[in-house]
A and B are shown apart, each in its own frame.
Chain A
Amino acid sequence: MSTMRQLLLVCLLSASAFAQSGNLGSFTNSGDVGGPAIKGSTEFSNGQYRITGSGANIWGKQDQFQYVWREITGNFTVTATMQFLGKGAEHRKAGIMVRQSLDTDATYADVVIHGNGMPGLQWRSKQGEDTNAFDFPFDGPGTLKVKLVRTGVKIYMYIGKEGAEPKKLANTEVSFRNPVLVGLAVCSHQADASDTVLFSDVSVEAQTPPAPKAQ
C-alpha cells in the first residue's frame, strides 16, 4: 500500500511537472534558444500567446530568440495571426519556425515578419551553415496572418495582411529528420533589448499520413 502511495505521488509530481511546460495551448514548451543575454518569456491566456524575445538575430550561423514549440512528425500546417507590440529594431522578426533541435546553429526553416512589415522565408539547410533568405516586397507593418505548410521537404509560406486570407508567396526545400520541432519565434535583433509579439488564432494541424494501401 505504501508503495502504491509513493507511485501515486510520483505520478502526481510528474503530471505537475508536465503541466508546467504544458499550459501552452497548441505547444508544449517555451524557452530561449542560443542563450540571449536578456531572458525571454511566454504567456498563454485566452488562446493568445504574448511572446517576449531578445537575441542578436536568427541569421548567419547561429540564432538567439524565444521559442514556443512542440514536437511533430510528418506533414503539417501551422497558422497564426501576429502583431508586434511596441517599438523596436526595423529587422526584429517573429513568425513560425520548424527546427531540427534547440541548438543555436540547428537546421531550420521559418516564415517571419520583420518589424517594418517585410515578410521573409529563411532557412539553414544544415546544422552550422549560413542562413539563406528570400525577402518579399511589403508596404509597412500591420497585423499579419502567417501560415507555414510542410509537405515532405517542401516548406510553403502564406501571408495575409489586415484580415485578408493568406496567399501563397513561395516555397523552399529543407530536409529534416523526423521528428521536428514546430512553433512560434520572436527575436529583437539586438542583444540589449527585447520585443513582444502577440500571436492569436494559432493552429497546428498534423496531416494524417495516407492509409497504407491494401496488400
Chain B
Amino acid sequence: MRELLLTCLLAASVFAQTGNFGSFTNSDDVGAPPLKGAAEFDASTGQYKITGSGADIWAKADQFHYVWREMSGNFAVTTTAKFLTEGIGHRKAVIMLRKSLDTDSPFVHLAIHGDGTPAVQFRNTKADNTNTVDFPIEGPGTWKLKLVRQGSTITVWLAKDGAPLRELGHTTNQLGSPILVGLGVASHTQEAVSTVLFSDVSLEQLPATAGTRQ
C-alpha cells in the first residue's frame, strides 16, 4: 500500500512537471532558438508568463516558445495578452494551433504584434510559406484574443484595453485532429527574448459540428 502511494506520488510529481500549466500540459521551444524560452504558470492567478526568443513565426520555419496541449474536434480558446518587455515591433504573442512541434509544421495562429498589429497567419502544408492577413494597426495595449474552430472554419475575435470582443472574420483550414493548441511568444530576433503575460485563459471543447460525422 505504501509502495502504491509512493508510486502515485512519484507519478503525480512527474506529471506535475509537464502538467503545471493549468489548461495546458507542456511547454518548450519550437525551432531551437539560441536563447532558451520559459513558461511560468501561477495557479493562484491563472496567469502564464511566457518568455520566448526566435527569429520569427514566418516563412518556411518557426522559432518561438510554446505552451500547449493536444485537442481534437471543435474548441474555443480565449486569452488576454500583454507584452511585459520592450522589443521589436513585430514580436508576436499568439494563440497557436499546430500540427506538430516541427519548426516547419502546418499551423494557424491569431497573433498580436508588439506594435499592436493583429494578424491571422497560417502555413497550409509542411515547409510551405506562411500566409498572412494583417489587420489595421491599433497600437500597443492589452489585447483579448479569441479563436474558435468549428470543423474547417476558424473564426477570430479581438478587443483592445477592455473593449468588448469584436469578430474580425473567418478563414478555413485543414489542420485536422488531433492538433496542438496553445499560446506562443516569439521575440522576432535571435538576440533577445520577449515576455508576455497571458491571463484569463480559457480552453473549451465544443460539441461536434452539426451534420458532421465524427
User: A172, B170: Cβ atoms under 8 Å?
Assistant: no
Smallest distance from the beta carbon of B77 to chain A beta carbons, Å?
18
Interface SS of chain B: helix, strand, loop or mixed? Answer: strand
Contacts of A172 in B (CB 8 A): 131-134
Contacts of A135 in B (CB 8 A): 169-171
User: B134, A133: Cβ atoms under 8 Å?
Assistant: no
Within 8 A of B (CB), among A154-191: 168-173
User: B169, A137: Cβ atoms under 8 Å?
Assistant: yes
Contacts of A171 in B (CB 8 A): 133-134
**B129 sits at the interface (CB 8 A):** yes
The tally of CB-CB contacts under 8 A between chains A and B is 39
**A18 sits at the interface (CB 8 A):** no
Taking CB as reference atom, which chain B residue is nearest A174?
B131
Smallest distance from the beta carbon of B185 to chain A beta carbons, Å?
23
Within 8 A of B (CB), among A107-128: 121, 123, 125
Contacts of B131 in A (CB 8 A): 123, 125, 132, 172-173
- How many chain B residues touch A (CB < 8 A): the figure is 16
User: A137, B167: Cβ atoms under 8 Å?
Assistant: yes
> When the two chains form the complex, which single residue of A125, A130, A168, A170 contacts B133, counting CB atoms closer than 8 Å?
A170
B148-192 vs A, CB cutoff 8 Å, 1 = contact: the mask equals 000000000000000000011111100000000000000000000
Within 8 A of A (CB), among B112-130: 120, 122, 124, 129
CA of A172 to CA of B167 in the docked complex: distance in angstroms?
Answer: 18
Smallest distance from the beta carbon of A127 to chain B beta carbons, Å?
14
- Report the interface size class on chain A: 10 to 19
CA of A168 to CA of B132 in the docked complex: distance in angstroms?
Answer: 16
> When the two chains form the complex, which single residue of A130, A168, A169 contacts B124, counting CB atoms closer than 8 Å?
A130
CA of A125 to CA of B131 in the docked complex: distance in angstroms?
Answer: 8
CA of A171 to CA of B167 in the docked complex: distance in angstroms?
Answer: 17
Taking CB as reference atom, which chain B residue is nearest A171?
B134
Q: Assuming the A-B contacts A125-B129, A132-B171, A135-B169, are A169 and B135 also in contact, with contact meaning beta carbons closer than 8 angstroms in the complex?
A: yes
**B136 sits at the interface (CB 8 A):** yes
User: B124, A136: Cβ atoms under 8 Å?
Assistant: no
CA of A123 to CA of B134 in the docked complex: distance in angstroms?
Answer: 14
Smallest distance from the beta carbon of B137 to chain A beta carbons, Å?
10
Smallest distance from the beta carbon of A77 to chain B beta carbons, Å?
17
Listed from nearest, the 8 A-B pairs whose CB atoms lie closest are: A136-B169, A134-B133, A134-B171, A137-B167, A170-B133, A171-B134, A170-B135, A168-B136
Besides A132-B122, A170-B135, 8 more A-B contacts (Cβ < 8 Å) are A125-B129, A125-B131, A134-B170, A135-B169, A169-B136, A170-B134, A170-B136, A172-B133
23 contacts between A and B (CB under 8 A): A121-B133, A123-B131, A125-B131, A130-B124, A132-B171, A133-B171, A134-B120, A134-B133, A134-B169, A134-B171, A135-B169, A135-B171, A168-B136, A169-B135, A170-B133, A170-B134, A170-B135, A171-B133, A171-B134, A172-B133, A172-B134, A173-B131, A173-B132
